[in-house]
A and B are shown apart, each in its own frame.
Chain A
Amino acid sequence: MQRAVLLLGANADMAESMARHFAQRGYQLLLASRNTEKLASLESDLKIRYDADVQVFRFDANDYPSHHAFYHSLPVKPDVVVVAFGVLGDTEMAMGDWNSSQEIISANFTGAVSIVNVVALDFQQRQAGTIVGISSVAGERGRQSNFIYGSAKAGFTAYLSGLRNRLTRHKVHVVTVKPGFVRTKMIADVPTPVLLTATPDQVAKRIDRAIQKRKNVIYVLPVWRYIMLVIKLIPEFIFKKLSL
């Protein structure tokens, strides 16, 4: 039977790469995003390139009350759900403006919890399914440059870990993805070290492999596991003085 994947935040570069990857592997694609107009060209592209079975839906991570109806009105129940939405935001601006703080927290944490709760209950009942959450290495230790984003991702990472613990005995698998630097729109004009920067295509391949091999927590480039280990080992009395 054809498997279906639901990509939440499908306009994100990583989600687009995943959509292409899953389309090539014959999945039915359910693409959801706040901006469905922008999704239209991705939809036509996937249909023309891969003869893929694609449908597009409007989904707003910040509109929590709509999440239950959104999920249960999908034409098919997905086998894989990927949470790919997220907002990096501007920490300096967010400090002085609660709305932008809230936007960062909602897009990276509360919005994700709200929709994944709905998905998780369905998967639990069906005793099947895979949930992929794209979190971030920024959630492993708060740094002054992006700690509002980082703390929201830390919350999301903890949520995914607890969810995995809850759902394992229901045969539902949860993958936490910590991409590190990725060549995406989010960091388009920020120069990053080449050896530490993955492409969205690499992310898609790694995630697909993680789903198949039932990995729990993945870093896209393995080197990040060690980088983050070192960052976590720095004693707080030193760490607090660093400009990271």
Chain B
Amino acid sequence: MVRAISNWGNYPVIQANEFSISSQEDIRQRLLDSSLIVRGNGRCYGDASLAPSIVSSVGLNRFLAWNPMDGILTCQSGVLLSEILEVFVPKGWFLPVTPGTKYITVGGAVASDVHGKNHHVDGSFSQHVIELELMTGQGELITCSRDTHPDIFWATCGGMGLTGAILAVTFRLKKIATSFIRYHHIKARNLYEILDLFDQYSSATYSVAWIDCLIKGENFGRSILMLGETASPEDLTENNERLRAGKEPFLNVPFNFPAFALNKLSIRAFNALYYGKNLTKESRKIVHYEPFFYPLDSILNWNRIYGSRGFVQYQFVLPEDSGRKGIEDILQRISKRGLGSFLAVLKQFGYQNDLISFPMKGYTLALDIPIVYGLFEFLNQLDEVVAGYGGRIYLSKDARMSSEIFWKTYKNAPKFQEVILRYDPELKFCSELSKRLKIKG
């Protein structure tokens, strides 16, 4: 049945057939009919998991093997991170890396090679992956790792589903003593202060900053740095259950907001409140992991506040050496243009240099921007600036970058393309993204 499908940004919307499956045999059958792309829970923002023919992996939802001695878990690719937390937090284990939502599949975490607040110490998700089971375009099963078929292993981590269908993932969980976080926040008056704070607190396990993109003058780039460590049992009061998984959301945004709901004024007001509500320069407290890692998951369908026209999340990374200057330059352009967003998030990345993964040592900035007239022209200019500083754009968030920018900024793209064409010569796995960026299809 053909229906309108879009991912988290509600842009683009395409007419597509989405098939539910429950076994690898079902995928093999679909591959005989047409080219397709595998889609998990639809939480990438743009067109990475969109194609005329889509296979939904959420039916592949089984845990396959668990070793409590070393924390190594094997599960099918459609298992959600939220399910892993529900099962393993009470046993004293946590995700090695988690993005800002727990409603993504494990397969999606690999295909996007997601990162989290601990990237500077623990790297991205793929660093914790031991083995992948993959079905290629010819319906062949491949088990790959750093040692066996390393070429396709690395092309699959961050490879946006273009190497084949990820069926199962074996990866390492992280041992935790409690499900709570020792939280520490520090206000920074401006951009220079926040960048210094990142350096100063580089040994903190979790760190991220919220940044105000609209304010000009001496407070340009004012921010709140949020730091966290897993709390130890001694940090807890008697009322805290030591290992407890988070609760399911009860707030929902039932419909798309009208276009005028978000404007410069309302965002300015939000930012002023958000910055102002933290009265003290610094504070520390013990919080559950849920609000620390997943503040927005408590509101179902929060993407609807951006209305039916949708939004894009613009996330880029700049290398360390040009990063400070580049972030300042780009933030100034955004502030001058008056493009604010509720969620502007700044983070320092640690070292990473993989085949096609997004992160690299430096700084990443992510902004949610509602789609308005003239936005894409402006973002095209920003792309050039990002490329000029040696940076690149996160494919899982992207819906609009040009293929020229992609090929210019992802230095290993030719090698990546060579691997995926070698394993999938008949171009069975293609997406709207792979066509737009002229990678495949």
Using CB atoms and an 8 Å cutoff, list the residues of chain A in contact with chain B.
13, 38, 41-42, 44-45, 48-49, 185, 188-189, 191
Contact = CB atoms under 8 A, between A and B. Distances in A.
Given A41-B76, A48-B87, A49-B87, A188 B20 contact: yes
B64 interface: yes
A48 B63 CA distance: 7
Nearest to B63: A48
A45 B20 contact: no
Interface of B: 1, 19-20, 22-23, 61-66, 76, 87
Contacts of B62: 41-42, 44-45
A191 B1 CA distance: 8
B23 A45 contact: no
Interface centre among A13, A38, A48, A49 (most CB of B within 10 A): A48
Contacts of B61: 45
A141 B23 CA distance: 34
A41 B64 CA distance: 6
Contacts of A41: 62, 64, 76
6 contacts: A38-B23, A41-B64, A48-B63, A48-B66, A48-B87, A49-B63
Contacts of A48: 63, 65-66, 87
Given A44-B62, A44-B64, 8 more contacts: A13-B22, A38-B23, A45-B64, A48-B65, A48-B66, A48-B87, A49-B63, A191-B1
Contacts of B23: 38
Task: State the main secondary structure of chain A at its contact with B.
Answer: helix
Contacts of B63: 44-45, 48-49
A185 B22 contact: yes
A38 B23 CA distance: 8
Contacts of A38: 23
The 3 closest A-B pairs by CB, nearest first: A45-B62, A48-B63, A41-B62
Contacts of A189: 1, 19
Nearest to A37: B23
A41 B61 CA distance: 9
Contacts of B66: 48
Contacts of B76: 41
Contacts of B20: 188
B198 to A, nearest CB: 38
Nearest to A11: B22
Contacts of A49: 63, 87
Q: Which of B20, B22, B87 has the most CB of A within 10 A?
A: B22
A86 B181 CA distance: 49
A48 to B, nearest CB: 4
A187 to B, nearest CB: 11
A117 to B, nearest CB: 31
A55 B333 CA distance: 63
Nearest to A50: B87
A38 B62 CA distance: 11
A135 B76 CA distance: 31
Nearest to B19: A189
A189 B76 CA distance: 23
A49 B64 CA distance: 10
A49 B63 CA distance: 8
Nearest to B66: A48
A38 to B, nearest CB: 7
Nearest to A35: B23
A42 B65 CA distance: 11
A147 B139 CA distance: 37
A44 B22 contact: no
B245 to A, nearest CB: 12
Contacts of B1: 189, 191
A116 B19 CA distance: 35
A74 to B, nearest CB: 24
Contacts of A42: 62
Nearest to B88: A48
Contacts of A45: 61-64
A185 B87 CA distance: 26
Nearest to B23: A38
A189 B18 CA distance: 9
A48 B86 CA distance: 12
B85 to A, nearest CB: 12
A71 to B, nearest CB: 27
B65 A44 contact: yes
Nearest to A40: B64
Contacts of B87: 48-49
A191 B66 CA distance: 37
